[in-house]
A and B are shown apart, each in its own frame.
Chain A
Amino acid sequence: DIQMTQSPSSLSASVGDRVTITCQASQDISIYLDWYQQKPGKAPKLLIYDASTLEVGVPSRFSGGGSGTDFTFTISSLQPEDFATYYCQQYNNLPYTFGQGTKLQIK
């Protein structure tokens, strides 16, 4: 299985901050990576696919990048509704695997 490692596991930030989360795959996954946002008690929501393509309706303050084994997820200016847990997930190989999550908290 491909292991997905996110860092940091948790992050405190303020409204308006720029934050970046990284995700590293244990082997080359090209650009076959998604990012999800999950709020407490809710199902995850797809934000980005193909490492950098925003899902329809997702605000442009969210962005993603990278290829191969190293990926980034950035929120350019944090909004109150962005405090949540974020997961990366690879779909290059079965079984699909997720990172352990990054919890973004209010400072």
Chain B
Amino acid sequence: QVQLQESGPGLVKPSETLSLTCTVSGGSVSSGNYYWSWIRQPPGKGLEWIGYIYYTGRGSHNPSLKSRVTISLDTSKNQFSLRLSSVTAADTAVYYCVTLHCSGGSCGFDNWGQGTLVTVSS
């Protein structure tokens, strides 16, 4: 069973860059078993898919976030990371790192970190 743990600052100033890291245990970010993903949830609201990266380095992100998103892998540390630039209060949310497992056309976000609240405020 893959386990995920988010880490990073809980407070970010407006216009700065949000940076989070997800440490993976019980699996390898170098394997093709998962798409390594980020999902966020503003307080009291629903879920929004941010993006994912595959072990090949290929990735995709939500166009609603325009070009502010960067997701990367660090195979030496078995981690993947999220950077979100030019943040505003609208980016305040609980951020989850998640594995997306796809097999034979079936997909599901099947392992979730506990989530970390990031507040954007001066």
Number of cross-chain contacts by CB at 8 Å:
52
Inter-chain contact B96/A87, CB cutoff 8 Å: no
Bound-state CA distance A36–B110 (Å) is 10
* CB of A14 closer than 8 Å to a CB of B: no
* CB nearest to B51 among chain A residues: A95
Interface size on B, residues (CB 8 A): 20
Contacts of B63 in A (CB 8 A): 1, 95
Bound-state CA distance A98–B62 (Å) is 13
Q: What is the interface of chain B mostly: helix, strand, loop, or mixed?
A: strand
Per CB-CB distance, the 6 closest pairs between chain A and chain B, nearest first, are A43-B112, A49-B108, A96-B49, A95-B62, A98-B47, A91-B107
Using a CB–CB cutoff of 8 Å, the interface residues on chain B facing chain A are 46-49, 60-64, 96, 105-110, 112-115
Task: Offer 16 A-B interface pairs, CB within 8 angstroms, sorted by A.
Answer: A34-B107, A34-B109, A42-B114, A43-B115, A44-B109, A49-B108, A53-B106, A55-B108, A55-B110, A89-B47, A95-B64, A96-B49, A97-B49, A98-B48, A99-B46, A101-B46
